C-alpha cells in the first residue's frame, strides 16, 4: 500500500513458498546449532589437548632435567673411576716392587705376597718398637651396570648410580687405605736388611760357639762372620743413616748404621770406611772395605743386626729366596 495517491499493488504468494521458507529457516537454525555444537566440541578438545600437551611438555622438561642431573653424576662417577684406576696403577707398581724383592713374579697376587711380606717385616711390628700389629692384605672390587629411558627407569638408574657411587667410594677408600699401608710397609722394607753386606759364605753363624782364640769354652756370637780379603767392598743391606765410624776395641774399626724402627746394623774389623756419620745410605751402596782390625784371627767382616738393643740373627732378616742361597761353613772356621 503506497502513499496517498498511489496505486495499490497486490503480491500473490504461492502455497509452496511458506512451507519452503519454513524448511529453509529450520535447516538454517539446525545448521547453525550443529556448527556451534561442533565448534564448542572442537574448542573443548583443543583446550584438553593443549592441557595434555602442556603436561607432556612439563613431563619432558622434568625428565630432561633428571637426565641432565644423571649425566652430571655419570661424569662425576667417570672421574671417580679414573681416580680409582690411578690408585690401582700405583698399587700395582707397589706390589710389583714388593714381589720382586720377595722373589715372586711381578704379577703375583696380594694374597700370595702378603704372607711373605708380613713375615719379612715381622721384626718391625714388635710392640716394643711401637710400630703396630701386622695385617693380612687382600683385595675385592665389584661393579654393576645401568640402563633405561622411562621415568621409572630413570629413577631406577639414579638408585643404581647411587649404589655404584657408594661402591666406588668404598673401593677407592679401600684401595687408598691399602696403598697407604703398602707405602708404610715400603718404608719398613727399605729399612730391612734384605741382602748381606758381602756375597760370600758365612764362616761363623749367629749363636753359641766355641771361643775361636782358645778353642774351648762357649760364647755368644752376636752376628755373622763373612771371610773376605782385605779391601773387599762392603755394601749397605738396607737404607739408613750412618750413626758412627770409630775404633771400638775388639771390633776394630766399627761402622754403625741406624735404619729406624729401633734397628741398627754394625760392621766390624774394617780397614776403611767409605761414608761418614750423618750420611744417608741406600741398600746396595758401598759403605766400607773389609780388614783385619781389632780382635780377629784373619781378614773378614763381622756383621750384626740389633733391634731394640738386642742382637738378632741377620739371616732371619733375609727374604726366603735369599736366605736359602746362603752357605754356612763349618763352625771351626770362625774368624773372631
257 CB burial (10 A radius; 0-12, 13-18, 19+): buried
Q: Which three cell numbers stand for residue 183?
A: 707405602
Give the helix ranges, DSSP H, for 102-150: 110-120
- List the end-to-end C-alpha distance of the chain, in Å, as a whole number: 165
| CA 22 to each of CA 11, 33, 98: distance values in angstroms, whole numbers, following the listed order | 19, 16, 110
Q: DSSP letter at 6?
A: P
Secondary structure (3-state) at 37: helix
- Phi, psi (rounded to 5 degrees) for 49: -65, -35
- Structural domains in the chain, sorted by start: 51-191 (no CATH), 207-333 (2.70.70.10)
pLDDT in tens, the chain (336 residues): 666 666 777 777 777 777 787 777 888 888 888 777 777 777 777 777 777 777 777 777 777 777 777 778 778 778 878 888 888 888 888 888 888 888 888 888 878 888 888 888 888 876 444 333 233 333 322 333 333 345 566 666 667 777 777 777 777 787 888 888 888 888 899 999 999 999 888 988 887 666 554 455 566 788 999 999 999 999 999 999 999 999 998 899 999 999 999 999 999 999 999 999 999 999 999 999 999 998 888 899 999 999 998 999 999 999 988 888 888 876 544 455
Amino acid at each position: 500500500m503506497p502513499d496517498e495517491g498511489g496505486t495499490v499493488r497486490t503480491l500473490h504468494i504461492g502455497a509452496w513458498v511458506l512451507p519452503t521458507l519454513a524448511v529453509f529457516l529450520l535447516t538454517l537454525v539446525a545448521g547453525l546449532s550443529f556448527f556451534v555444537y561442533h565448534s564448542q566440541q572442537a574448542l573443548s578438545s583443543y583446550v584438553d589437548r593443549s592441557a595434555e600437551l602442556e603436561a607432556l611438555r612439563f613431563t619432558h622438561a622434568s625428565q630432561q632435567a633428571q637426565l641432565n642431573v644423571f649425566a652430571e653424576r655419570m661424569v662425576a662417577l667417570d672421574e671417580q673411576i679414573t681416580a680409582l684406576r690411578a690408585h690401582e696403577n700405583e698399587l700395582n707398581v707397589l706390589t710389583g716392587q714388593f714381589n720382586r724383592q720377595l722373589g715372586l713374579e711381578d704379577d703375583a697376587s696380594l694374597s700370595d705376597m702378603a704372607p711373605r711380606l708380613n713375615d719379612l717385616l715381622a721384626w718391625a711390628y714388635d710392640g716394643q718398637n711401637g710400630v703396630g700389629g701386622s695385617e693380612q692384605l687382600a683385595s675385592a672390587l665389584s661393579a654393576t651396570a645401568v640402563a633405561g629411558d622411562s621415568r621409572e627407569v630413570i629413577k631406577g638408574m639414579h638408585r643404581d648410580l647411587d649404589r655404584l657411587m657408594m661402591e666406588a667410594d668404598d673401593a677407592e677408600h679401600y684401595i687408598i687405605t691399602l696403598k697407604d699401608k703398602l707405602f708404610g710397609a715400603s718404608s719398613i722394607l727399605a729399612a730391612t736388611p734384605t741382602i748381606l753386606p758381602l756375597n760370600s759364605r758365612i764362616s761363623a753363624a749367629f749363636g753359641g760357639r766355641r771361643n775361636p782364640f782358645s778353642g774351648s769354652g762357649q760364647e755368644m756370637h752376636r752376628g755373622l762372620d763373612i771371610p773376605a780379603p782385605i779391601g773387599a767392598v762392603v755394601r749397605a743391606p738396607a737404607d739408613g743413616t750412618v750413626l758412627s765410624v770409630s775404633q771400638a776395641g775388639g771390633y776394630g774399626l766399627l761402622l754403625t748404621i741406624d735404619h729406624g724402627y729401633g734397628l741398627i746394623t754394625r760392621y766390624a774389623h774394617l780397614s776403611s770406611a767409605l761414608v761418614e756419620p750423618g750420611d744417608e745410605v741406600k741398600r746396595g751402596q758401598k759403605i766400607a772395605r773389609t780388614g783385619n782390625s781389632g780382635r780377629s784371627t784373619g781378614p773378614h767382616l763381622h756383621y750384626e743386626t740389633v733391634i731394640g738393643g738386642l742382637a738378632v740373627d741377620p739371616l732371619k732378616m733375609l727374604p726366603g729366596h735369599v736366605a736359602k742361597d746362603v752357605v754356612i761353613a763349618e763352625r771351626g772356621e770362625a774368624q773372631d
